[in-house]
Amino acid sequence: MDLMDNRPTFDLVDWIIFIGMLGVSTLIGIYHYYASRKKVDAVGEYLVGGQKMSVFPISMSLIASYISGIALLGLPAEMYVYGTQFWCIAIADSFVSVTMAIVYLPVFYELRITSIYEYLELRFNRVVRLMGSFIIIIQMLFYIPLVIYVPALAFNQMTGMDLYTIMLIVSAVCIFYTTMGGLKAVVWTDTIQTVLMFGAVIPVAALGTARVGGVAEVWRRNVETERIEFFNMDLNPTIRHTFWSVVVGNYLNWLAMCTVNQATVQRCLAMSNLRKTNMAIIIMTVGITCIMSLCCYTGIVIYAVFYDCDPITTKQIRRRDQLLPYFVMVLSKAIPGLPGLFVSGLFSAALSTMSTGLNSMSCVIYEDMIKPCLRKPISNVGASRVIKATVVIIGVICMGFVFIVDKLSGLIQSWKSLTAITGGPLLGMFTLGMLFPMANSKGVFVGAFVSLSLVAWISFGTQAAISNGSIYFPVKPVSIDGCTESLRSTAGNLTTIVETTVREQPFFLYRMSYLWYTLVGFLITILIGLLVSWFTGPSKYSCADKRLFTPVVHCFLSSRNYQNKVHIISRPSIEQNILHNLMYNLFYFSFFLQNEAELAKMINDVNSITQTSSKC
């Protein structure tokens, strides 16, 4: 008999809380639908909220968008099974906001574009723009089904309701209010859902701590099993989690997810100026760090409660991702309404991420693929209808892809692996455009294509190796010594059988930590992009193109012609100075290459060069 059948189930209070959350989300969508009907610019109102949104709802929406049910369920399970090394992700997140504010966002604000992939056409050409658009659509089509599946799995465990029925109902609600209300509906539902997320996690962590006997006892039980680990400084790239892979690898991963992601920039452009955007980014960073830390702490609390009776070994739950829902049901015996609050928070995280993805993808598809193909402009009302129809179609496709998700292993690893396939190439494309003046369209296209293909091969190959047992990650010890006799008998024979044969090691890249995937994709895009640009002729730019580059390199652009004149004399010194100041000379060298073909003209026409320089 499955012991999960004896667990507490939803009662009337739980259902009221859960249905209330879905009802409020639906009403917000309806309200903003009728409110936006009076607006002249229906498309701008739908996609960027008329660019008059305030800091608070935008920052709450950004938090909700990047804290999905994957984090709420996956992080506690990660702490329970593998230990706390992944908790260092909070360090990486703090650096991402600084990079966004200084390097990338100023460019998007200067251009004021609706789809950020329009930048790729302004900097390179339309082919590169379409490539960027296709990459982000592929990413969201992988990501959204995973986001839907996670809370549905928890709901199935807590209520017994059919998994796919849950996903159908909740996805339909999300598609409805996203289609009806546009960005404003998404942002305001995200704001309410962020509050629910904190409201779901905080009581669970607090009640669990009280059940164990305090924070000190929680910590002691985890230290005894060596779960508390923050500074594994091993440089071996095949170790699943080290300080370096979590901090450096996650920095690039989050940078790709936040900085060159249509969902983030679309919300940032919904505010009137860059100062407000930077405030929202700071609040987002603090909020994400807080809720992720709460989730990680909840993981060690769960272990402290079950330290002598592991529910996975005793088959009280079927997989590690069900640890937190099972823990909530155990606590709910004394706290009525807690399961309803928890599931509402979990689905809030999923709905916010899904609605954000649908809204941003509809923007990309309309602006990058549909609008350029129109022979004549259509009315605002017609464009709004096209965008809304796109939301519905994408939502249905994502619901169909959910059936694949059940085959993946480990929420956190699956999530990071899939997003890294597209994150590294995308970040590399925008970085080449904003930081490297010599990069041309051929280099960016080839670099991104090679990067995307390689990382996809590594990611899917790794998932296949994990599924067939070729790759195994060491887990922290568990115990069933404190279980009842019936539970111990359910666990069966736990004797470990040691294999005497040596199993063939998988390919080295399959054994590489999944946290390095984004870095690999990013570096390959940059290096191949620069190499191809070198051989095919560096990109040319004019003074008016200055806004296409990040302010970080504007000082090099402003002195371009002065450097051209000095190149004739100082060319041998470039290589000597690279070791002394690598970043400076990388740009310096790119400018030199860009103008080498013009040296003959410069020598013969010094006066013309001087006039151009004065204009710049």
- Give the span between the Cα atoms of 521 and 93, in whole angstroms: 19
Instruction: Give the tens place of pLDDT for each residue, 493-551.
Output: 544 444 444 456 777 788 888 889 889 999 999 999 999 999 998 877 666 678 888 88
Q: Which residue has the higher pLDDT, 345 or 10?
A: 345
Query: Encoding tokens for residue 448?
Result: 């991104």
- CB environment 38-53: b (16+ within 10 A), e (fewer): eeeebbbbbbbbbeeb
Given this model, what pLDDT does residue 600 score?
43
Quick one: pLDDT at residue 335? 75
Element (DSSP H or E) covering residue 597 = none
pLDDT at residue 546, as a whole number: 83
Mean pLDDT is lowest, of 145-149, 446-450, 483-487, 582-586, for: 582-586
Q: What is the pLDDT of residue 62?
A: 80
Q: Which two tokens stand for residue 426?
A: 């995308």
Give tens-digit pLDDT for 66-75. 777 777 888 8
What does the alpha-carbon distance between residue 419 and residue 455 come to, in Å, rounded to a whole number? 10
Interval 479-491: pLDDT, tens: 888 888 777 776 6
Mean pLDDT, to the nearest integer, of 106-134? 87
| pTM, 2 dp | 0.77
Q: Of 65-69, 171-175, 303-307, 551-555, which gets the smallest average pLDDT?
A: 65-69
* 152 neighbors 170 (Cβ within 8 angstroms): yes
Mean pLDDT of 155-184: 77
What is the pLDDT confidence band of residue 470, given thresholds at 50, 70 and 90?
A: confident
pLDDT of residue 418: 72
Q: How large is the average pLDDT for residues 457-474?
A: 79
Higher local confidence (pLDDT), 589 or 107: 107
Residue 406: pLDDT band by 50, 70, 90 thresholds? low
Helix ranges restricted to H, 406-440: 411-435
Contact 403, 148 (CB under 8 A): no
CB count within 10 Å of CB 385 equals 13
Specify the pLDDT at position 296: 92
Q: Nearest CA to 338 among 352, 351, 324, 349?
A: 324
Please answer whether residues 506 and 512 qualify as being in contact, where contact means their C-beta atoms are separated by less than 8 angstroms.
Answer: no
Model pLDDT, residue 503: 54
pLDDT tens, residue by residue, 247-266: 998 898 888 888 887 777 77
- In the predicted model, what is the mean pLDDT of the chain? 76
Average pLDDT value for residue range 210-238: 90
Structure-model confidence comparison of residues 271 and 232, the more confident one = 232
User: Among 8-12, 112-116, 128-132, where is mean pLDDT lowest?
Assistant: 8-12
pLDDT, position 218: 93
The percentage of the chain sitting over the pLDDT mark of 70, rounded to a whole number, equals 79
Task: Give tens-digit pLDDT for 426-440.
Answer: 999 999 999 998 899
| Mean pLDDT on 117-146 | 86
Q: CA distances (Å), 281 to each of 102, 271, 293, 388, 516, in order?
A: 12, 12, 18, 28, 25
